[in-house]
Amino acid sequence: MSMRIILLAAAVATLGSAAHAQQRIPVGHLMDNSGPTSDVGVPYGQGVADALAWVNRTRNGVGGRQLAVSGFDYGYQAPRAIAQYQAWVQRERVVAIQGWGTVDTEALITFVTRDRIPYISGSYSAALTDPTGRAPRSDKAAPFNFFYGPSYSDALRAMIMWAAEEWKARGRQDRPKYVHMGANHPYPNSPKAAGEALAAELGFEVLPAIQFTLTPGDFTAQCLSLRNSGANYAYLGNTAGSNISVLRACQTVGVNVQFLGNVWGMDENAMRAAGTAANGVVFPLRTAVAWGGDAPGMATLREISQGGATPQTEYRPVHYLAGVCSAMLMVEAMEWAHAHGGEVTGERIRNGFYARKDWVPRGLEGVCNPSTFTNEDHRGQMTISLYRAVVAGDTTQGSVAELMRNGTMRLERVTDITLERRQEWLGW
């Protein structure tokens, strides 16, 4: 081979390597910025978007390749989500997706398994946690589904365990009464059977569920039913927007019950909107701290926030932090894929989720709780941190940041509960 041919081949190889380095990695980002869960979807989606933009800006993407993030607001309409998924797969060849709702995420399980595309959702349905499909109550295997945080079912189990102990601490000898509240919809219904089963196991009297819509409305009738039922503990399965309406209505009619909020059911914005009606609600926090907490990773979190599309240096609600942690788990699984084979493919990204135990994204120590995924169990977190919303006064004056700063509102740690990794709870 002549020297000219050798040099030409070397030049082609170099250009090919440079082109590969410059080729962007396509990633999908499904959001609800306009639908019935947008009250919590907006801050969560902003956290995801800001984190991915920060990775491009400060780390030059993954393996020297920028992330090409395609965001889509589907308005919480599952058919639109499925159609967009098909477009992402066929036209953009995405290698991973940050998803959102329960209906659409569960509908896509078969698709993402077939296409081998890791799907990191904002839905924490327990149906997404069994990668093998062999668990007693699993409907199907979900080997490419992941999420950051405890499942809805496990979070509710932790709150019911806490309620059982809290009831005893009051010195009560009678049976406590428990009721599930929420829309007749896959998202609030996701943990219903699991919660009611554990409540019965722990000696609660389980009352008939009370339904209220995902969209805010007049829920006086539901609150009167709740008051007349004599319930002691009530689980709010909807997002914060409609829960605010329930809390206000129940305060008005004099309901005396301990509300248990699902992970999307309470946050700082809801506390401000509901005012003292939100005082005392117990709910799970996915991160180790809220905004401004004492953690080494708070500096990175502020940097991510300040560089976002809507820069904000004052305060971000709990869902924003969870969005950042979710995005960074995906990014680091992608980085593992690059380091172990070069090609950032869906299957390698999936394997990246299995590569670490008690995994906290670097730079976010003390912010993101540790996660552990295995090829037989996608329950990433089994320790659930329970917090209480404390509202001490008028919330109509001042921003969330001001109200949190002056103590009118605060998030108070209640306890941490570590669940057994019971096989019969996997996928349920």
Would you say the CATH fold of 153-291+384-425 matches that of 3-151+294-353? yes
pLDDT of residue 309: 62
pLDDT of residue 90: 95
Instruction: Tell me how far apart the alpha carbons of residues 110 and 128 are, in angstroms, rounded to a whole number.
Output: 11
| Fold of the domain built from segment(s) 153-291+384-425 | Rossmann fold (3.40.50)
pLDDT of residue 390: 98
pLDDT of residue 312: 67
pLDDT of residue 2: 45
Instruction: Report the CATH architecture of 3-151+294-353.
Output: 3-Layer(aba) Sandwich (3.40)
Domain ranges across the chain: 3-151+294-353, 153-291+384-425
Give Cβ neighbours of residue 185 (< 8 Å, ≥ 6 apart).
103, 214
pLDDT of residue 311: 65
Q: Are 138 and 68 in contact (CB under 8 A)?
A: no
pLDDT of residue 314: 80
Sequential pLDDT tens for the chain (428 residues): 443 443 334 333 333 433 444 599 999 999 999 999 999 999 999 999 999 999 999 999 999 999 999 999 999 999 999 999 999 999 999 999 999 999 999 999 999 999 999 999 999 999 999 999 999 998 899 999 999 999 999 999 999 999 999 999 999 989 999 999 999 999 999 999 999 999 999 999 999 999 999 999 999 999 999 999 999 999 999 999 999 999 999 999 999 999 999 999 999 999 999 999 999 999 999 999 999 999 999 999 999 999 866 666 689 999 999 999 999 999 999 999 999 988 999 999 999 999 999 999 999 999 999 999 999 999 999 999 999 999 999 999 999 999 999 999 999 999 999 999 999 999 99
Q: At CA 353, angle to CA 348 and CA 357, rounded to 5?
A: 135
Instruction: Tell me how far apart the alpha carbons of residues 366 and 364 are, in angstroms, rounded to a whole number.
Output: 6
In the chain, % helix, strand, coil (3-state, to 5) comes to: 45, 15, 40
pLDDT of residue 15: 37
pLDDT of residue 20: 44
Q: Are 153 and 129 in contact (CB under 8 A)?
A: no
User: How many Cα atoms are found within 13 Å in the side-chain-facing hemisphere of 135?
Assistant: 26
pTM of model > 0.95: no
Edge-first strand listing for the sheet containing 145-146: 67-73, 25-31, 96-98, 119-120, 145-146
